[in-house]
Structure 1
Amino acid sequence: MKIGIIIETKDYEKAFNGMRFAVTAFKIEHEVKIFLLGDGVEIPFLSHELFNVSSQVKEFIHIGGEILACGTCMNIRNIKESDYFEVSTMVECVNMVEWADRVVTF
């Protein structure tokens, strides 16, 4: 199954669970793409003693996952390029939704 995941929060636990979901789905052989939107563009940099979001982001990338991030949302937050995601547009978010069999939002 093709699963599109939109993460639009920087809440530690919600972002952590979104990334855990992505890693798990990928490991059981689903095709998974993530689009970071709004506050979600900050999650590659989040670390908390209970919810280490950045480690889940790194694992997802390490196993071959693809993460896109809204360029407009990044600009608003003065976030520059990252090794963890590709700067993208709302058109790519729409393309991901059209590509996916299911879309999950965190």
Structure 2
Amino acid sequence: MKFGIILETKEPEKAWNAFRFAVASLKKGHQVKVFLMGEAVECQGLISGKYNVDEQMNSFADNGGEILACGTCLKTRSMDGTELCPISTMNDCVELVEWADKVINF
């Protein structure tokens, strides 16, 4: 299956679980794309106690997952896209939803 994940929080446990789910899905043979929106664009580099979101994000990418980051959300935070989380548009989010068999929100 193709899973589209829309992540809208940088709350460490929720973001960590979203990427754990994404990694587990890839390892079961599914295709997965994640769209970061709102405060979730701040997840790269996030480590809070036992919730190492950054590690899960890198594991997701290393296993073939694709991460997209909302350009408007980055811009409102004076942030730039990165190699791991390139700047994307709302049209990219729409295309992710059209591509996916299932859309999961965290």
Shared fold (TM-score greater than 0.5)? yes
**Alignment coverage as a number of residue pairs:** 106
Partner of 1:36: 36
Q: State the Cα deviation string for residues 23-72 of structure 1 (Å, max 9, x = none).
A: 00011100100000000101112111210000000111111110001000
Partner of 1:98: 98
Kept in 1: contact 2:4–2:104 (CA 8 A)? yes
Alignment of 1:16-35 (within 5 A): 16-35=16-35
Alignment of 1:1-106 (within 5 A): 1-106=1-106
Identity, in percent, stands at 50
Counterpart residue identity of residue 13, structure 2: E
Q: Secondary structure of the equivalent of 2:43? A: helix
The offset of 1:85, in angstroms, is 1.4
Q: Normalising by the residue count of structure 2, what TM-score does the alignment of the two structures yield?
A: 0.97
Measure the CA separation in 2 of the matches of 1:44 and 1:21.
Answer: 17
The offset of 1:105, in angstroms, is 0.4
Q: Where do 4+ consecutive residues of structure 1 move more than 2 Å?
A: none
Q: CA RMSD in A?
A: 0.7
Q: Which runs of 5+ in 1 are unaligned?
A: none
